[in-house]
Amino acid sequence: MHEAILPGLIKQFQYYKNLGDKTFQQIEDDQMHWQYNEDSNSPAILINHISGNMLSRFTNFLTEDGEKTWRNRDAEFEGGNASKEVLLKKWDEGWSCLFQVLESLSENDLDKMVYIRNMGHTVFEALNRQLAHYAYHIGQIVFIGKILKGANWQSLSIPRGESEVYNKQQFRHPRERKHFTDDFLKGEDRE
């Protein structure tokens, strides 16, 4: 079981990146800065925050504290006016940093100690912490996308009213062990 942990975590991170990517494909350049009110986050702010967090946490992941002195977390929550193209480059930069680390780790690294703001975590705990954090914010991005697109939103999950059809399709296949993201990341399945 231990040998399946890292591949499963990588797939989970890929799944959430994919949800963000598919949301950004649906929203327009000017919608990247849409905020419900001045205290809420826009997709642009969330990209800045997620990317800033990833670069801080995963630069020298095993050897330095995950909260780098060069990080300006408060600035991540300022709106700015960067174009969608610039924002998506920043998004990809953060994910690239994360995936480089994940692909370099071995199962033996999972019990090693890393620190975030001087709080010790095993690598496994730190990865789970970050997975939950990114899922939380990507859920916000998806929700904003749904608000902005309204009836034109293309579902990233099983569309409303289609659960029965989806389940019938799934139960036509024989039981097998696989990760729930396997087909989704290929674009064949919905969660």
More confident: 72 or 157: 72
Are 188 and 120 members of one domain?
no
Q: Residue 138: is it exposed, middle or buried by C-beta count within 10 angstroms (0-12/13-18/19+)? A: buried
Residues 6+ apart with CB under 8 A from 191: 157, 158, 180, 181, 184
Tokens representing residue 90 in the block: 């920043």
Are 89 and 174 members of one domain?
no
b/e sequence 180-189, b meaning 16+ C-beta within 10 Å: ebeebeeeee
Q: What is the tally of structural domains in the chain?
A: 2
Per residue in 114-150, pLDDT (tens digit) is 999 999 999 999 999 999 999 999 999 999 999 999 9
CATH number (domain holding residue 108) = 1.20.120.450
Whole-model pTM?
A: 0.91
Are 170 and 124 members of one domain?
no
Are 88 and 178 members of one domain?
no
Whether 76 has a pLDDT exceeding 90, the answer reads yes
* pLDDT (average), residues 81-100: 97
Are 141 and 163 members of one domain?
no
Whether 190 has a pLDDT exceeding 50, the answer reads no
pLDDT score for 174: 87
Q: Which residues pair with 115 in a beta bridge?
A: 120
Are 136 and 163 members of one domain?
no
More confident: 191 or 152: 152
Are 84 and 173 members of one domain?
no
Cα–Cα dist 181/177, whole Å: 12
Per residue in 23-61, pLDDT (tens digit) is 999 999 999 999 999 999 999 999 999 999 999 999 999
Q: Which domain holds residue 178?
A: 159-191
pLDDT score for 185: 65
Contact 79, 33 (CB under 8 A): yes
